[in-house]
Amino acid sequence: MAESFLSNKNLSGFINTLKLNPEQNKFLLERLPTLDKKERVSLMKVLKDIFILNMEEAEVIDSIKNNWGKV
């Protein structure tokens, strides 16, 4: 089951949802078919970290927008 999570389809979908620049996105998608299981696990960890950073960035921006001028 974990192997299907690391499939080209799932990983490419995750890559496409992240805020990556077009060059990074293209690079990852081109290299994806050549990755072995260990490399896919490593890539998933990096993608997860990027996802979390994007979420934290969005929360900070919302907080600033909501509190701007309240001080």
Of the CA atoms within 13 Å of residue 61, those in its CB half-sphere come to 6
Residue type, 68: W
The boundaries of the domain holding residue 32 are 2-67
Contacts (Cβ under 8 Å, ≥6 apart) of 16: 25, 29
Predicted confidence at residue 3, as pLDDT, reads 60
Average pLDDT, the chain: 91
pTM, to two decimals: 0.81
Q: What is the domain count for the chain?
A: 1
**Rounded Cα distance, 58 and 62, in Å:** 6
Positions of the chain with pLDDT under 50: none
